[in-house]
Amino acid sequence: VRTLLAALAVAAPFAVAPPAAVGPPLPAAPADTGDLIVRYAPGADAAQRADARRDAGVQRDESLPLARAEVVEPVAGVPVEEAVRRLEEDPAVQYAEPDVVRRASLTPDDRYFRAQWGLDNTGQAVGGASGTPDADVDAPEAWDRTTGADGVTVAIVDSGIDLDHPDLAPNLWQNPGEAGAAASNGADDDGNGFVDDARGWDFAATPDDATPQDGDGHGTHVSGTAAARGGDGIGVTGVAWRARIVPVRALGDDGSGTASDVLRAYDYARRAGARVVNASLGGSSPSRAERDAIAAAPDVLFVVAAGNDGADNDVLPAYPCNLDLPNVICVAASDRSDGLADFSNRGASTVDLGAPGVAIASTWLGGDWVLLDGTSMATPHVAGAAALLLARRPGATVADLRGALLGSVDQRPGLAGRTVTGGRLNVAAALDAITPPPAAEPAPPRESLPAPAPAPAPGPAPEQPSAPQPPPGPQAAPLGPAPAPAAPPPATTAGIDRAGPTLTVRPARRSLALVLRRGLPVTLGCSERCALRAELVAGARDARRLRLTTRSRSVGVARATRSLARAGRATVTLRLSARARSRLRRTRSVRLTLRVRATDAAGNPSTRTVRVTLRR
């Protein structure tokens, strides 16, 4: 039995900063949804209204039962305040304002939501530094689609949870077999081997007990990022507003625990019905038992932290991050500007993606909220996202979740070559990617088929939990002295799909004028089931020339995502943003780059880049 991880700072595994209070108290979050209400001036005709929208970088969203008024939404990159300012300067507009109508249901009124830059980055200052607008996971955009159903269960294997925290208590899982009087009758009413386990279990205590109360704070913070109650007017919001949190305490108040307790916690989580396990913990020694325990739960997605050593996990492995299993996703920490956080581990072949992990506001002991840094804080952004995907599509498999989460990232230079995907979590895009295939592809309910081709098998044979097989590959060496540090990365582990799909990209030939009006159709082909993401990008030089940006950087002007349930082709239409349309209408030709990324069910990406020249 090994010690999993010594505390790195005040707050345990993979959190690096001592907790800082979220305060000074923030101004109450402005109650806007990211959309705007615009009321046009009397007499402004349709063309003048359209010009006003175009110049402000907004597009129509919904009509309103109020004369001359409608809801509009900013196109990517235009802050609401800026859109309001531009609209109000236009003589065709009587007034414009942030939309307060949809906010109540879609965007949280939680007091510290403004501090949660990782969810919605407007460039606001948090913890004494400000960031880059839209260097975030697009959470409000995701919540336009769903805020998560009751009942998706996420286990937090950690230091426990502040059971009475007002921002967490409403989302705590309740064991139906140990409810009411059964919770304290000293009997194992549901026969699961745990007496009175009404709301999780504490494996770190000696002896074990039924109260996974957090004495460290780490688990409480992690829980809040994944699933603090959203839209309740207090504190923060989790990525999933109403997921059920199963607190499983496996780390003590010093933030360390044993592999055996962690394994028990994994198993408890699985048996409690968790579809997602967040494990913001790790260590440098491999554990065969840990690997087997995770492999024995192929229907549970394990979202784990990369570690905070500023190291390359491809060279210096960390576990469970480096486990080469299809149900493990390993997360690095990104900063306010989409760079890799300086403390974060990386790994071009071992760390899957980035998520916000610097100055993250979340729940803390004593009903409080604090800011923390760490890959521990990045990880639950992804776990919460997985819960949202399951709320959207309850039948999604682990392979579906993995494909959607990894196939929809926002590519960022700071993460390229340092993570498998080269990108940062985008929850809204992941939700789009998990959307069930359209009716055109009759999606047979998999339950009704006699023997559907199984998703990529996790190993050469079904796992026999009681009879661990000699696992393949060097990383499964028995416990003992540290492995040779420069051991070659495990190549082609048997049974694991490591090849990206074969991808074909064929843009239609269209004039610039037609693309401005109707978009650019692109036919995409994939050699297997995959998640596709296509983006049209203006290079730095053209972007500046066309006033798409004032800085020297490339700018995305259109993007689309699509999932293919099997090998085949699909046509997506890339519609230019309103801002891009208004800028491009003044030019005779433009050269754009079409970037397409396909990610297969095992998370292996393929990319293709095609130059597209559009002329009038």
Is residue 166 within 8 A of residue 228, CB to CB? The reply is no
Tell the smallest beta-carbon distance from residue 58 to Ca ion (Å). Answer: 29
Nearer to Ca ion, 195 or 565 (CB): 195
Q: What is the Cα–Cα distance from 391 to 238, expressed in whole angstroms?
A: 14
Own/partner pairs, 61-67, CB within 8 angstroms, 24+ separation: 61/35, 64/37, 66/39
Q: What is the Cα–Cα distance from 321 to 261, expressed in whole angstroms?
A: 18
Q: Which residues of 477-492 are buried (b: 16+ CB within 10 A; e: fewer)?
A: eeeeeeeeeeeebbee
Tell the smallest beta-carbon distance from residue 182 to Ca ion (Å). Answer: 4
Nearer to Ca ion, 268 or 319 (CB): 268
Say which residues have a Cβ less than 8 Å from residue 65's Cβ, sequence separation at least 6: none
* 398 backbone φψ class: left, alpha, beta (φ>0; ψ -120 to 50): alpha
Nearer to Ca ion, 184 or 464 (CB): 184
Q: What is the Cα–Cα distance from 145 to 277, expressed in whole angstroms?
A: 23
The label of the residue with tokens 């394990």 reads 302
Binding site for Ca ion (CB under 5 A): 110, 167, 178, 182, 185, 187-190, 192, 194, 196-197, 229, 232, 234-235
Is residue 614 within 8 A of residue 519, CB to CB? The reply is no
Residue 18: asked if its preceding bond is cis (omega within 30°), the reply is no
Tell the smallest beta-carbon distance from residue 355 to Ca ion (Å). Answer: 20
Nearer to Ca ion, 243 or 281 (CB): 243
Nearer to Ca ion, 238 or 339 (CB): 238
Q: Following DSSP, what letter does each residue of 93-139 receive, concatenated?
A: EEEEEE--TTHHHHS---TTGGG-TTTS-SS-EETTEE--TT-S--H
Tell the smallest beta-carbon distance from residue 236 to Ca ion (Å). Answer: 6
Nearer to Ca ion, 205 or 540 (CB): 205
Tell the smallest beta-carbon distance from residue 147 to Ca ion (Å). Answer: 12
Tell the smallest beta-carbon distance from residue 243 to Ca ion (Å). Answer: 13
The closest alpha carbon to 423, from 138, 126, 125, 123, belongs to 138
The closest alpha carbon to 131, from 306, 334, 309, 427, belongs to 334
The closest alpha carbon to 330, from 318, 316, 343, belongs to 318
Half-sphere exposure of 611 (CA within 13 A, CB side): 4
Collapsing DSSP to helix, strand or coil, 229 comes out as: coil
| Residues that are catalytic | 158, 218, 376
List the strands of the sheet with 605-615, edge to edge: 555-564, 530-538, 589-600, 605-615
Nearer to Ca ion, 146 or 192 (CB): 192
> What are the phi and psi torsion angles at 578 (to 5°)?
-60, -40
Nearer to Ca ion, 194 or 319 (CB): 194
Provide the token pair at 26.
């923030």
Which helix (H) or strand (E) covers residue 387, if one does? helix 375-392
Nearer to Ca ion, 190 or 253 (CB): 190
Is residue 155 within 8 A of residue 277, CB to CB? The reply is yes
